[in-house]
Structure 1
Amino acid sequence: MTKAEITNEISRATGIDKENVLQVVEKFMEVVKDSLGKGENVYLRGFGSFIVKERAEKTGRNISKNTAVIIPAHKIPSFKPCNTFKEMVAERTSK
């Protein structure tokens, strides 16, 4: 599902025009990105958490040159769904 499809679905369900829904969806994504950029996690009860994960330093391989490359420790954004969300997805997809 794309951002446009999400916007259309919310607009249809609420009766709010698409332009306003799109602004809200884009602002939500902006707030999540800004929070994660500051190292702050975002918790949405009943849905899940947008979290910042720390990746440890590791050694990788440059296949074309056949050399070892050190990949430094870094942070990445991640999403962790809540248990009820995971159960709902498992239940609906197993049918």
Structure 2
Amino acid sequence: MNKQELVDAVAAATGQSKAAAADTIDAFIGTVTKAVTKGHAVQLVGFGSFSTGARAARLGRNPSTGAEIHIPAAKTVKFTAGKAFKDAVNAR
């Protein structure tokens, strides 16, 4: 599902116009992005949690030459699925 399909599904489920649903989704994504960027975790009960993590610096290899390269430390975004979400995915 891409963003437009998500907008269409939210608009159909809520009875909103597609423009209003798109604005709501954009506001949600923007708010979560700002919170996680500032180091806060965002927990949506039943869905999951968004947070930041740290990836340590490490040595890697260039696949074409085999030469060692230094990969710097970086922050990363983590998503941990909630129990209800996991159960819904696993209920076949």
TM-score by length of 2: 0.90
CA distance in 2, matches of 1:80, 1:23: 25
Counterpart secondary structure, 1:39: coil
- Indicate the SS of the match to 1:64: coil
Q: Once superposed, which parts of structure 1, at least 4 consecutive aligned residues long, lie more than 3 Å away? A: none
Residue in 1 aligned with 2:86?
86
Give the aligned CA root-mean-square deviation in angstroms: 1.2
Does the residue aligned with 1:9 lie in a helix, a strand or coil? helix
1:29-60 CA-partner distances (Å, limit 9, x unpaired): 11111112112111111110011111112110
Instruction: Indicate the residue corresponding to 1:35 in structure 2.
Output: 35
Matches within 5 A, 1:16-55: 16-55=16-55
3-state secondary structure, aligned to 1:63: coil
Write out per-residue CA displacement over residues 19-38 of structure 1, whole angstroms, 9 at most, x where no aligned residue.
01100101111111111211
Displacement of 1:66:
2.3
Name the count of aligned residue pairs.
92
For normalisation by structure 1, the TM-score amounts to: 0.87
Q: Which amino acid aligns with 1:9?
A: A
